[in-house]
Amino acid sequence: MPDQIVLTDSPATLTAVVRGRVPARELARFVPAACGEVWSFVRAAGLPKPGRHVALYLDAQGSVEVGAEVTEPFAGNDRVHCSQLPAGRVATAVHFGPYQRLAETHTRIRQWCAEHGHRPTGISWEIYGHWDESWNANPSRIRTDVFYLLQDQGG
C-alpha cells in the first residue's frame, strides 16, 4: 500500500552530525557509521536527551549530514558539528519497511509533488525510528519518516 503523503510545516530541529559528500552507493555504510560516531560523541559530551537518528540530503552531489536530534546547541569537534534540520513547508510520508526500500518512498513523494504542483527544493531528510528488537524478526515494521522541503509558493 502506498505511503500517505501529507503537507505540513516542519520546525527547525537541532542536530549533532557528521558531514560528508557520499555517493548514493555508499550511503548504506556511511549512515550507520556516522550515526554511531555521533551517538558516541553525544554520550561523551553529556548532551541531554538525544533523539532519533537523522540523515539530511543537501544536494544532488551527495552532500549529507548524518547524526541525531539534540535539544540544545553545543560545541562540536573536527568531525561532529552542531547543525539543524531545516524549517519550512514539507511533503512527508512514513515509510514502513527495510531501509533498502526507502528509495520507493522518496520516489513516491517526488511523483506526488509533481502531480500536485509542489516544487521540492532539492533538500530532503530521513528520521529513523528508535530501534525495536522486534524489527530484527519483522523488518516490515521499521519506521522511517521521510521529508522533502518545498519551495515557497507565496507571491
Residue 85 belongs to some domain of the structure: yes
Give the pLDDT confidence of 3-29 residue by residue, as tens digits: 699 999 999 999 999 999 999 999 999
Contact call for residues 17 and 56 (beta carbons, < 8 A)? yes
pLDDT in tens, 47-97: 998 899 999 999 999 999 999 999 999 999 999 999 999 999 999 999 999
For residue 136 the three cell numbers come to: 530484527
**pLDDT band per the 50, 70, 90 thresholds, residue 150:** very high
Cell numbers at 66, concatenated: 548524518
Question: In the β-sheet with 63-69, what is the strand arrangement from edge to edge?
Answer: 6-10, 88-96, 143-150, 120-128, 53-57, 63-69, 13-21, 80-85
pLDDT, averaged across the chain: 93
Residue 155 within a domain? no
pTM of the full structure: 0.93
CATH code of the domain in which 42 resides: 3.20.80.10
| Identity at 36, one-letter amino acid code | G
- Separation in Å, CA 98 to CA 28, 135, 141: 12, 9, 8
d(CA 46, CA 68): 14
> Rounded distance, CA 14 to CA 103, Å?
25
pLDDT digits (tens, 9 = 90+) for 42-60: 999 999 988 999 999 999 9
Q: How far apart are CA 120 and CA 110, in angstroms?
A: 8
Judged against a pLDDT cut of 80, whether residue 155 lies above it is answered with: no
| Total number of domains in the chain | 1
Is residue 1 domain-resident?
A: no
Q: Which pLDDT band holds residue 131 (cuts at 50, 70, 90)?
A: confident
Integer-rounded Cα Rg, in Å, for the chain is: 16
pLDDT band at 154 (very low <50, low <70, confident <90, very high): low
The end-to-end CA distance of the chain, in Å, is 36
Range of the domain at 138: 6-150
